[in-house]
Structure 1
């Protein structure tokens, strides 16, 4: 395995560049739901494989679609007319010898469990229908799991991770997590979980456009809606963490609202998610594995959620590249910003990717010292890849 190539970038870190755009799709966004549910299903199926056979078997639960339902909303009330539908795909191992694995049953129960614990107003039995279209995998890909030695990659794929998060990225991430935190929901139970934050930074001025529905059953008049909206905005302003790199932060909440237009001028929800009737969701359209959608950064093309954690390098390298970047930033003195690239070839051992590092370093940093430090981190992380895959299987690293 050749040593990782290390390249110096002649540019300022992203936070010092004049324009930065960052998005975060929150817990109840239909795309985020798809990512989270497919990952939950994959973990449940992998746990079943390990319990029955002592290892993860061929599976990729990384194709999912949440089809929006239909509801009727009125001030102070509402009802579901047509449930949402969750389509669960792609491939799984249903049988080993004479032992059958109840894949469909596991998938549906895992999905229901996620809805039950994550979305307060969604009844997983009444508000969601489930269609499982998981099929057996190909013989060649399934055979990877029967081969001796280090697991081989089941795809040719590339990934890139970076560190650290910029101040804008941290702020966008913080806002969504704050608005969906247990403390905030206890203080403002009238708010739904479908939070979306778009941050635009121009020099040292940040504008964050936030979308978050209020629950129609808790809002009895237009005046009550706009009064509660103002309270939410003030609570958010007061809670914003210090931001030394920013001069101003402007907040916009539910920009489509218009007073005097009744239901057409208010962002109301019955179940707390726009998947109830306004927006469908799909795996891979949501956040990157570090929790944001960074439009100014290079990103890989893989959706990590639901892929198997021991041979699908689209998942392994996507998460690992961010971990490597974080380790380099923390451990190698003089690194201001770093990007780690990993490329794997189908059929090659997963611990033998092509690797490269791009970085921005301090003016007084030692080139050779940084190069050696970066390569040491890459080598150490690849040498413990088996342990990393175990941690990934156990859900230690978030993927959405």
Structure 2
């Protein structure tokens, strides 16, 4: 028997509240870079461990600092003066019965591959690497030696997830994805990847502010920058109008792009970039400071405190429960009639198998009827997801679920 409870959520759903504030950091944001690279390192280490030893060994690659470099911006194309530094840290398994694993090599190869695939103007010489991964403690590594179908939780940790996303949340997330899509970059190659979208809805008024650098290779002058900016803003306004029409949503909208710009100040008054990311000279990054595992930072929702990216996928509940809570909430909302919104809370007990949380609680906002009418169905959804948690952890290990 699992510790499952189902009760009413004593508040209105997010869409019915007067205020929503939602942020999304694009893939070129320094924090997003750290999350993406470190989680891919975990995925690649998991694959190496599985291939060579038939099991995922102890590792947590969830500590990272991206130290900003230095650039010299110039109209028509600047240069990187000092490279960025990616510090890769925490713990991993380096040796099994005398057989060594090239953890540091895997980490660096993974990082360089990610930059090459995702940031068009970051060259290999633009990033230096410092690997600070070390072997784990004896007690935590022993969790992996104990065996069994499911490992024990490596921590006492709580998580919360919710579903569905509100219109505001989806609008913010989809806008960043559109601006960083291959099609948009092909049409507007001057647009950088370090995109930040901030949306606020107050009743029927929706305001969105976007920060997106223009690659200075494409910028001939200050006047040219503002002409290109106007074109980008027009494209974004068309996208927003089409999006509202498709979703059949009626709100009053306003949209701003690069609101810090000041004409007449040359390069100092406009947002340009050599590489497309502010990590080149302006902003450092860390794991856990970017988007939550559902892809957004929604300030009016409950949120988990764990940084999930890079944690191991088979025993670290800071990763597993963080993402699973959102999946369970989505399954409840999708499969159980009359549930308007679902919140799911999971709490682990260190050392106890991960399919046996100390708390598994659902809190529901109902469209109609009482929670009691769906309690059995909701309990079955939660129980089924926990029963199949082994399959879920393998999806995490293979990188099949986005964490950012």
TM (norm. structure 1) is: 0.98
Pairing of 1:125-204 with structure 2 (within 5 A): 125-149=124-148, 150-204=150-204
TM (norm. structure 2) is: 0.97
**Aligned residue in 1 for 2:289:** 285
2:329 corresponds to 1:329: no
**2:42–2:310 contact (8 Å) kept in structure 1:** yes
SS of aligned partner of 1:109: helix
**CA offsets per residue over residues 196-227 of structure 1, 9 Å max, x none?**
00001100111011000001111011111000
Pairing of 1:274-313 with structure 2 (within 5 A): 274-313=278-317
SS of aligned partner of 1:183: helix
**Aligned residue in 2 for 1:32:** 32
CA distance in 2, matches of 1:135, 1:320: 28
**CA offsets per residue over residues 54-79 of structure 1, 9 Å max, x none?**
01000000000000000000111211
- What number of residue pairs does the alignment pair up? 398
Structure 2 alignment gaps of length 5 or more:
none
**Aligned residue in 2 for 1:357:** 362
CA distance in 2, matches of 1:55, 1:247: 51
CA distance in 2, matches of 1:360, 1:67: 43
Pairing of 1:12-31 with structure 2 (within 5 A): 12-31=12-31
CA distance in 2, matches of 1:139, 1:210: 47
Following TM superposition, the consecutive aligned residue runs of length 4 or more in structure 1 with deviations greater than 3 angstroms are: 243-246
CA distance in 2, matches of 1:206, 1:373: 36
Deviation at 1:366, TM superposition (A): 4.5
**Aligned residue in 2 for 1:338:** 342
When structure 1 is superposed on structure 2, of 147-156 and 295-304 the one drifting more is 147-156
CA distance in 1, matches of 2:147, 2:131: 32
Pairing of 1:177-326 with structure 2 (within 5 A): 177-240=177-240, 241-242=243-244, 243-326=247-330
SS of aligned partner of 1:37: helix
SS of aligned partner of 1:28: coil
CA distance in 2, matches of 1:320, 1:9: 19
CA RMSD of aligned residues (A): 0.9
CA distance in 2, matches of 1:169, 1:8: 23
SS of aligned partner of 1:355: strand
Deviation at 1:3, TM superposition (A): 4.0
Structure 1 alignment gaps of length 5 or more:
none
CA distance in 2, matches of 1:329, 1:39: 28
When structure 1 is superposed on structure 2, of 141-150 and 77-86 the one drifting more is 141-150
CA distance in 2, matches of 1:219, 1:366: 59
**Aligned residue in 1 for 2:102:** 102
**1:3–1:375 contact (8 Å) kept in structure 2:** no
SS of aligned partner of 1:390: helix
SS of aligned partner of 1:134: strand
**2:2–2:383 contact (8 Å) kept in structure 1:** no
